[in-house]
Structure formats: C-alpha cells, structure tokens
Amino acid sequence: MKRTRNAKIIATLGPGRSSEEDIAKLIEAGADVFRLNFSHGAHEDHKRRYNVIRGLEERFQRPIGILMDLQGPKLRVGKFENDRIQLVKGQPFRLELTDALGNETIAPLPHPEIFAALRPGMDLLLDDGKIRLRVDKAGKDFAETEVVFGGELSNHKGVNVPSAILKLSALTAKDHADLKYGLELGVDWIALSFVQLPSDVEEIKKIVAGRAGVMAKLEKPSAIEHLHGIVELSDAIMVARGDLGVELPPEDVPVQQKRIINACRIAGKPVVVATQMLDSMVHAPTPTRAEASDVATAIYDGADAVMLSAETAVGDYPIESVAIMDRIINRVERDRLYRKMTDAARSIPEATAADAISASARQTAETISAQVIVSFSSTGSTTMRVARERPSVPILGLTPNINIARRLVLAWGVHSIRTRDVKNFGEMMGKSVRIAKRQGFALEGDAIIIVAGIPFGLPGGTNILHIAKVD
C-alpha cells in the first residue's frame, strides 16, 4: 500500500458506507485517515467503525489514522407556531431569551451568551447565512433587529454572530462525554469545533494530555484574528471552509485559506483543507472542473491533507470521490510548477538542532540523489520537522509507538511504519536500510538519509544525520 503522493486524503464515514468491504475499498482507492463525525451517530456506531478500521490495519499492514470530530456548541433559534415563518427585507424582528413559540415578528433564541455579546450595528446570520439581521437595540434577554436579507426561517435553524467573541466554551457537555469515549477507544486525532481563542485549545489539551493530537478547526473570524496563537498551541489545523464561509465574505475565504496554510507551513504543523471539495460527487460520478481546480489549489498551496465529508459519508459515489481526489493530487505533484512553488514557500529553519538536521537532510538527499529520508522518532517530532522541509524524496517515518505511527499518517510525505525500538546506532542503521528496501523505497546500491536522536527514546533530541548505502 505504498502511496505515490505526498498529500493525504481524509474520508468521512457515515451510515451509508461503513461495512468492512466499503472501508477497505476506500483505503484501496486512496483514503489515509478516516473521520468519525460525532455530530451524528451513536457511540456504538462509531465504535463499530473504529474496530473495522483497526482490523483493516492488519489486513493492509499499514497504520491508518482515525480523526474524531467533536460537534461543539450549536446555536439555534427555537420553534415557531407554524414551524416556519417568512421574513421580508426591512421589517423589524425581535429575538427573545425564551422557550415560547415564535411567529412572524418574534423568535425564541435560548442562548444568553449571544445576547450578552450583541451591540447595535452587529449582524446576526441565520440558516447558514441565508438570512441576515442587523441589531438596532439589545439587552440581556432581547434584541431588536431589522431584516437585511429575508427569506424562510424554520425551527431550530443555526445562528452565527461573526463580529463577536461569545463567552462560551468550545466544549459542551456532549463534547466532554464524546471526548472521553473517543480517548478510551484510542482515536489518533481530535478535531475541536468552535475555536475562538487560543485558550479553547489549551482547555482541550489539558484533558487530552497527549493521548491524541489536537486539531483546531478554524471556522470563526475570531480564530483568524488569533491565528498564530492557535497554530502554536495546536498539533494540527483544519481550514473548515463551510462555517468559515458563513461568517466571512466569500471573497475572503480563499485568501484566509492561503494565510492559514502558510502559517502552518512555517510552524511545521499539519494543515487540512475541508468542506465541499468535491461536493457535486455526492450525487454525480465525476466532479465539476471548478471542484477539481479547488482540490488542486489546496495542494499547490501546500496542504498536508484534503478532506471529503458528505461525498464519502452519505454520497452515492464514495469510492469514486476518493479515487478522483487521489488522481488530482498525483497529477499536481508531478507538475514542475508544484515543486517550484513548494520550494519557494519553504521557510528559514528555526535555530534548533532538530531544524538544522531536518533542513540538512533535505538538502543532502537532493545533492546526492538519495532515494528516501528515514526518520527514526519515538514522539514523531523529528518526522514532523522533516515533513516541514517538504523534501523532493519520500519520508519513511519509523517509530516504536503505534499511536505515533497512526498520528504521523496525516503528515505530508510521510510513509509511517511501526517498528521495534533500537538500542544502538548500528541497529538503527541496519533497520533503516532493511525497511527502506523492503518497503520499495530503495534498491541495492542506492543511498538513503537517516535522521535520529541519541540517546534513543528521548524526545526532542534530534542530533544525527547519516548517509547509508543499501546493500
């Protein structure tokens, strides 16, 4: 199952395609990581999918990453007397902190956090931005607004407040229960929704305590304003363009996508581009040319991974969706312009031994035409730093920790392998050569680059670069 590309594919599992046969076909088509969306489905459903994936690891003899996506707070209006109303541009419309049924002039909004943040002149977006209200007057339990964009509004539609930071934790009671369950299962990554501030990431990292990687979903303007603090604290980032596109003008989303990817490249943190990448393939066997271009742009920009949501969770063509995404990535990465852009975007190494070694490994591999860079790391940090360099040769990430091996699957260019720990330099060199040869990365007579840290097993100790010949 050696991949011929560097960027990875995340496929969401749902009720439509969750059998062992279906998931196996997704892996064969190109899926590297599977997303379990905890906004939907019972714990038992997710456990069954988890067990299937872990069983398929044995079948395919390769680590497979599992990402649990927490739901986060869901801000919604209440119910209406006739289930739905029609709002007209220019009409006054009142929101109240109540559970009473609404009508054409008033809506229940059972979220005191929203009222506490509202100020005159702010906008409220309802139903994924289809309806826009402008606040004229607000108090602790009401808001008088004017309809800017009207339309039909029905029960329990979502509410967004793009210009405010709500005094609301990113983790709800449901999220705490789901998080505990996911950690007990053994998921590899946890995607945190509704991130507004770096403190939201700090909160979940204290709970996770290193048992999984934390991926912050950037879907709110306030998160963009605190981008560097959030990137620094997170283990990975997701550009959640669906929700981000509701709260930002459409023309801003591509700009912010590039900005986020660039920040992650500099920090050496994996970044995922998500939402509606091949949306038409939910019901069509081929994507639009615009969608193919969208996937390609994310790869040209330097994303570590691209994600499929409804396309594989409930779509009619899940296997085809993964396969075409695989083809697009492969085609882009063969383009000479891609390598030129990737090299141009490379940042200056930080003043650390790990960065110096990683940068030297890339340069040495290119200078002597080595076939692969082998990174031996107990924590995965060395391998992540090598991936940050975006070398022109594959990265073979060796680790004795299966949890780290699964986590590294997400990183750009990394072919992750769990192997037994080593006790000395000679053993490490011999193991690196044997695995590179066995996995098809090098042939007899080829040169490989090995990076590691001595003494072995200590995190943050990258201090060796060695050139080895395959015999």
CATH number at residue 140: 2.40.33.10
Burial readout 64-93 (b: 16 or more C-beta within 10 A, e: otherwise)? bbbbbbbbbbebbbbbbeeeebebeeeeeb
Residue 364: enclosing H or E segment and its boundaries? helix 353-368
pLDDT digit string, tens, across residues 245-269: 999 999 999 999 999 999 999 999 9
Which of 144, 141, 217, 213 shows the shortest CA–CA distance to 183? 213
Read off the tokens for 431: 């193991």
First to last CA, the chain: 24
- 274 within a domain of the structure (yes/no): yes
Angle at 268 between CA 266 and CA 271, to 5 degrees: 95
Burial class (CB in 10 A: 0-12, 13-18, 19+), 351: exposed
Let me know whether 222 and 150 are in one domain.
no
- 203 within a domain of the structure (yes/no): yes
- 1 within a domain of the structure (yes/no): no
Read off the tokens for 103: 């009508």
- 344 within a domain of the structure (yes/no): no
Percent of the chain with pLDDT over 90: 90
pTM for this prediction: 0.94
Q: Is the dihedral angle over the CA atoms 12, 412, 189, 239 positive or is it negative?
A: negative
Which residues does residue 85 pair with via DSSP β-bridges, in sequence order? 153
Read off the tokens for 326: 């695989």
Let me know whether 268 and 362 are in one domain.
no
Let me know whether 209 and 292 are in one domain.
yes
Residues marked active site are found at 35, 76, 217, 275
Q: Tell me: pLDDT of 457 over 70.
A: no
Residue at which a domain ends, from 104, 130, 160: 160
CATH of the domain at 463: 3.40.1380.20
Let me know whether 191 and 300 are in one domain.
yes
Please, which pLDDT band fits residue 271 given cuts at 50, 70 and 90? very high
Q: Are strands 213-218 and 236-240 parallel, antiparallel or unpaired?
A: parallel
* pLDDT (mean) for 104-122: 96
Let me know whether 105 and 47 are in one domain.
no
Interatomic CA distance for residues 159 and 141, integer angstroms: 16
Domain span including residue 313: 8-72+170-338
Q: What is the number of domains present in the chain?
A: 3
pLDDT digit string, tens, across residues 2-52: 899 999 999 999 987 789 999 999 999 999 999 999 999 999 999 999 999
Let me know whether 197 and 255 are in one domain.
yes
Let me know whether 420 and 444 are in one domain.
yes
pLDDT digit string, tens, across residues 191-241: 999 999 999 999 999 999 999 999 999 999 999 999 999 999 999 999 999
Let me know whether 17 and 127 are in one domain.
no
- 401 within a domain of the structure (yes/no): yes
- The neighbour count for residue 139, using CB atoms within 10 Å, is 12
pLDDT for 425: 84
Let me know whether 360 and 332 are in one domain.
no
Let me know whether 42 and 99 are in one domain.
no
3-state SS class at 75: coil
Residue at which a domain ends, from 289, 310, 338: 338
Let me know whether 296 and 332 are in one domain.
yes
- 452 within a domain of the structure (yes/no): yes
